[in-house]
Structure 1
Amino acid sequence: MKLQTFVPLEKAQQPIGYDSHILTLGSCFAEHMGNKLEYFKFQAVQNPFGILFHPLAIENLITRAILEEPYAKADVFFLNERWHCFDGHSILSDASQEILLERLNIGLEQIREQIKMASHMVITLGTAWVYRNKVSNKVVANCHKVPQKEFIKELLSVDEVASSLERMIGLLRSNNTGVQLIFTVSPVRHLKDGFVENQRSKAHLISAIHLVSGKGFVSYFPSYEIMMDELRDYRFYGLDMVHPNELAITYIWEKFKESWIQEAAYPIMEKVEEIQRGLQHRPFDPNSAQHLTFLRSLEQKMNALKQSYPFMDFGG
């Protein structure tokens, strides 16, 4: 008897290995996958501008990075004792205007350089709902607690999302003809928009991605479908009943690994995980002979990996 349905997955034609360079952009679920890639010490850069929820925000960031359009004082504003930019997440905000601008432009440079060398980009879309600033008439990435009356809330149509993705793909491929683009839709439920509204939003994103993903270098990974179908139980959500919990994130990561990570990388991942667990170990007696022997063994394992993969950094 089958008690669960499974979303069919195909093995990627150009999977990710330890020689790959990866850029992840998008919603908080992009950060979950990015954290896994970083944990296993792949060459990955994630969300230099913080979480970006909708396609227009991601497109804007990619466009500014590729066209080398740096941020200036006119692009930031002061509110609640901090400087903010509508294009970035609040993690970049600061009490100093100069520091914010420096963070923004360093982030742009980081994105631009990673796009040039990227073998893979994972772009996670969270919502098709956007907020348009009434003064500038521009769609923002983050409202930064500016009063809602200063924005107009809009739902991007399927065609609007698809057009944004097409522009994004064109820009990326014009700067890196070998990059493999992996689109996915975040399983995080945006219930503040409303239950029906959240489903409409996800439907628009999924439909738009499938309009542009017929090309060999544009793929779709069904994060949303795995969560909705294989993990259709509230035990896989956090206490807010909105965000996937750690168990769900690990489950979807395993599916991503099965589909998108080279099998040749699996033994290296196991060695990395063994080191990571060792680094998290907390001894009863840090000065015991047994623990000092353990540390020497751990150091040897790290050095052995670094000889083959010099980019791996375990800290310390």
Structure 2
Amino acid sequence: MSTAFRTELLISPQTQRLSLQTPIFTAGSCFAEVIGTKMQQYKVPVLVNPYGTIFNPISLFTLLQASLELPPEFTGELIQRDDIWLAYDFHSSFSAPSRPELLTQIQKALTKSKNFLQNADTIVLTFGTAIGYIHRESNKLVANCHKIPQSQFTKHLLSIPDIISAFTSFYKVLQQFNPNIRIILTVSPVRHLKETLEGNSLSKSILRVVCHELKNQFAAVDYFPAYELLLDDLRDYRFYKPDMLHPTGVAEDYIWEKFKAAYFSEDFQHFTGKWDKIRQAFAHKPFQPASTSHQQFLKKILQQLEELQAQVDCQAEISTLKTQLITK
């Protein structure tokens, strides 16, 4: 019998590793933002959730495919609520006081995504739920109900064949657009209790089967077990925030470390060690900023930043540090 009281999920390092210079695109549920933000902190060229949080995979594939059109084209439905214009296909962060302004926001997001995907090496997609909502009037699946009365929507459980069909349609366009790109799929460990525990379990099961099928069908598709890392590896409520839905910062860091070890190169992991120390140094608040010891400390950090400048753009950090140095 094991005395560790825990079953650690071991993930084999990938053959094709990501580097500090690898362009990466993340999209989907809020967990895509967590992983993408981690990459941003380490200077990876990454575009994070350009459509805002999108929970269901079919809506996500629709937006991705729309981004690849020539030119990118939005054909979704716009609505007005409390003098604010919103789009059913986008997160509520896409809002404007007028229809033309909202369309401009949407067009910019689609164009930005297209331009980034042109040279991206990897796409990380995170699926949040297989439960969607059909707008009764248009009979279309929406990405966000935007607090419109529920009577205008029908709850709908997305089927495995429908999700795979939507992915296949998007993937064919993507292959023509950027044939060398690869996709990493994840299922968000965030619990959707609005759909009840039973509904959440059913939803996540569908998403997990979809990831399994897509990985088997497409050579360029892989699966990262973010869901299993929280549910089966950490497996404790202390790794959830007080809402009992979202992972804590400790849990997010643990999953990130697993992702980094599996997908990023050893050079990148060596860089993150150096960068973590520099970030800690920036967070340090001295009692005596003008003291000789602190000024020497700043000069040491400045030297490290200037050495790293050959690898990444540290100019912002260098400029900030120089303002703290006292010159005689």
Q: Deviations over 1:277-315 (max 9, x none)?
A: 222222334444444443343333333222232488648
Partner of residue 243, structure 2: 240
SS in 1 for 2:64: helix
Decide which structure has the larger Cα Rg and report it: 2
Following superposition, the deviation at residue 133 of structure 1 comes to: 1.0
> Are residues 1:226 and 2:229 paired?
yes
Counterpart of 1:297 in structure 2 is: 300
Contact 1:161/1:204 (8 A) holds in 2: no
**CA 284–113 in structure 1, closer or farther in 2 if over 3 Å, else same:** same
**Separation in structure 1 between the aligned mates of residue 80 and residue 288 of structure 2, nearest angstrom:** 50
Q: 1-side partners of 2:104 and 2:287: how far apart?
A: 44
Q: Which residue of 1 aligns with 2:220?
A: 217
Show the counterpart of 2:325: none
Q: Does 1:159 align with 2:136?
A: no
1:3 counterpart = 2:1? no
The equivalent residue for 1:141 is 143
C-alpha spacing 1:291/1:34, structure 2 compared with 1 (3 Å)? same
For residue 5 of structure 1, report the CA deviation from its aligned partner: 1.2
Structure 1 residues 212-221 or 149-158, which shifts more? 212-221
CA contact (8 A) 2:260 2:269 kept: no
Q: Which of 268, 271, 274 is equivalent to 2:271? A: 268
- Matched to 1:223, the amino acid is A
Contact 2:261–2:269 under 8 Å retained in 1? no
2:301 and 2:205 mapped to 1: Cα distance? 48
Q: Give, in angstroms, the shift of residue 89 of structure 1.
A: 1.0
**Structure 2 match to 1:185:** 187
For normalisation by structure 2, the TM-score amounts to 0.90
**Which residue does the alignment assign to 1:95?**
97
TM-score (norm 1): 0.93
Contact 2:20/2:268, CA 8 A, preserved across alignment:
yes
Q: What root-mean-square deviation, in Å, do the aligned CA atoms of Structure 1 and Structure 2 show?
A: 2.0
Deviation at 1:117?
0.8
Q: Larger RCO: Structure 1 or Structure 2 (Cα < 8 Å, ≥ 6 residues apart)?
A: 1
Is 1:34 equivalent to 2:33 in the alignment?
A: no
| Cα separation, partners in 2 of 1:249 and 1:107, compared to 1, 3 Å | same
Distance across 1 between alignment mates of 2:77 and 2:120: 28
Q: Distance between the aligned counterparts of 1:92 and 1:18, measured in 2?
A: 30
Count residues in correspondence: 315
Deviations 1:204-257 (A, max 9, x none): 111111111123311000111111111111000000111111111111111111
Q: Following the alignment from structure 1 to structure 2, what is the Cα–Cα distance between the partners of residues 312 and 241? A: 40
Give 2:205's aligned residue.
Answer: 203
Q: Is the CA contact 1:29–1:124 (under 8 Å) kept in the aligned structure 2? A: yes
Give percent identity, aligned residues only: 34
Could you tell me which amino acid in structure 1 is paired with residue 228 of structure 2? E
Structure 1 runs, 4 residues or longer, greater than 6 Å off = none
Structure 1: runs of 5+ lacking an equivalent:
none
Of 118-127 and 160-169, deviating more is 160-169
Structure 2 counterpart of 1:306, one-letter code: Q
Q: CA deviation at 1:64?
A: 1.0
